């Protein structure tokens, strides 16, 4: 395959290299100083569930020492609310915006998450990081903390099974005598490496040998083409998760719903109650919005009885 070098424009919204966490897993931060950094890449996009998903993921990552969280958002402009949120967690992070090119947005299926991951790869290349581990972690997956200890040992490319994938409920390597020999996945489709994005980790020193590391905009083939771009061979794969017998990451997708809508006159969104500040925050998070003209009037209940909001808030 003829891969071209990445030429993404990386727009950084905010970042911090300071780790303000004092203890992780009951040990002081200083005890972990010699560990390689895990660069945890999370593609995300605006939706009602975005901030709750990132918050839940953050409270897993807060337990992981020596981790830099790369959050790449699929939108044109930076989200100040997200900047504040990420800084509050106290772990090193980089927040960037990396919108999907418009020519791909109407494709079915669209190559969601590719622009985000490409921007993160470009950021790593621009900083010339060659000491650490790269891992692609979606914001709606579930991670066992043992995963991070496992992938930190990666010398070239490590692999492990991912739960809740498609028809089989799992996708991952087939291991014989300690070596990866094949793959179990219900959608092969000619892929040399039929694995899930959450099912592998890459050592940055190994990846640095390949100047044309890439992830083309080809839905369903993102993992396969990325691994091809770094020259992966079967004998280089390191099986993790007790020889790929344990599930350390789950593909737990959250079903997205439409933006919530509360019909409420703006005059009631003042400091007479908590609702003005509450609904303002929810709007910043992309969870819900207020309107004066659409849908059913907001009802408030008292003593088991629904009342027009004007009766309570006036």
Alpha-carbon distances of 232 from 43, 144, 213, 229, rounded to whole Å: 23, 26, 11, 8
pTM of the shown model: 0.89
| Rounded-to-integer distance, Cα 50 and Cα 95, Å | 14
CA atoms within 13 A on the CB side of 81: 14
pLDDT of 117: 97
- Give the chain's largest Cα–Cα span: 74
Whether 270 has a binding-site annotation, put simply, is: no
Domains of the chain: 11-250 (3.90.550.10), 260-313 (no CATH)
pLDDT of 1: 62
Residues marked active site are found at 223
pLDDT of 203: 98
| Rounded-to-integer distance, Cα 79 and Cα 85, Å | 10
Q: Could you write out the three-class secondary structure of the chain?
A: CCCCCCCCCCEEEEEECCCCCCEECCEEHHHHCCCCCEEEEEEECCCCCHHHHHHHHHHHHCCCCCEEEEEEECCCCCCHHHHHHHHHHCCCEEEEECCCCHHHCCCCCCCCCHHHHHHHHHHHHHHCCCCCEEEECCCCCEECCHHHHHHCCCCCEEECCEECCCCCCEEEEEEECCEEEEEECCCCCCCCCCCCHHHEEEEHHHHCCCCCCCCCCCCCCHHHHHHHHCCCCHHHEEECHHHHCCCCEECCCCCCCCCEEEECCHHHCCCCCCHHHHHHHHHHHCCEEEECCCCCECEEEECCEEEEHHHHHC
pLDDT of 100: 93
Task: Using 50 as the pLDDT threshold, list the residues of the chain that sit under it.
Answer: none
pLDDT of 245: 92
Yes or no: say if 50 and 139 are a contact pair by the CB < 8 Å rule: yes
């Amino acid at each position: 395959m003829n891969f071209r070098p990445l030429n993404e424009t990386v727009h950084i919204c905010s970042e911090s290299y300071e780790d303000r966490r004092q203890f992780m897993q009951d040990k002081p931060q200083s005890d972990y100083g010699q560990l390689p950094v895990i660069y945890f890449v999370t593609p995300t996009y605006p939706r009602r569930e975005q901030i709750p998903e990132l918050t839940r993921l953050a409270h897993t990552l807060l337990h992981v020492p020596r981790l830099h969280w790369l959050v790449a958002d699929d939108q044109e402009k930076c989200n100040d609310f997200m900047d504040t949120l990420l800084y509050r967690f106290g772990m090193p992070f980089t927040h960037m915006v990396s919108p999907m090119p418009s020519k791909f947005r109407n494709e079915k299926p669209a190559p969601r998450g590719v622009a985000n991951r490409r921007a993160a790869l470009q950021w790593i290349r621009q900083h010339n990081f060659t000491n650490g581990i790269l891992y692609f972690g979606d914001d709606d997956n579930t991670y066992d903390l043992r995963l991070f200890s496992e992938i930190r040992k990666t010398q070239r490319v490590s692999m492990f099974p991912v739960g809740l994938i498609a028809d089989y409920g799992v996708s991952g390597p087939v291991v014989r005598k300690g070596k990866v020999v094949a793959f179990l996945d219900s959608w092969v489709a000619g892929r040399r490496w039929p694995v899930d994005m959450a099912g592998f980790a890459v050592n940055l020193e190994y990846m640095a040998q390949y100047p044309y590391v890439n992830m083309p905009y080809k839905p369903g083939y993102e993992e396969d083409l990325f691994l091809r771009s770094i020259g992966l061979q079967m004998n280089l794969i390191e099986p993790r998760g007790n020889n790929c017998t344990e599930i350390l990451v789950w593909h737990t997708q959250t079903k997205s719903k439409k933006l919530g809508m509360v019909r409420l006159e703006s005059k009631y969104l003042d400091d007479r109650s908590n609702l003005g500040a509450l609904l303002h925050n929810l709007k910043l998070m992309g969870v819900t919005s207020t309107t004066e003209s659409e849908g059913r009037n907001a009802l408030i209940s008292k003593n088991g009885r629904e009342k027009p909001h004007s009766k309570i808030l006036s």
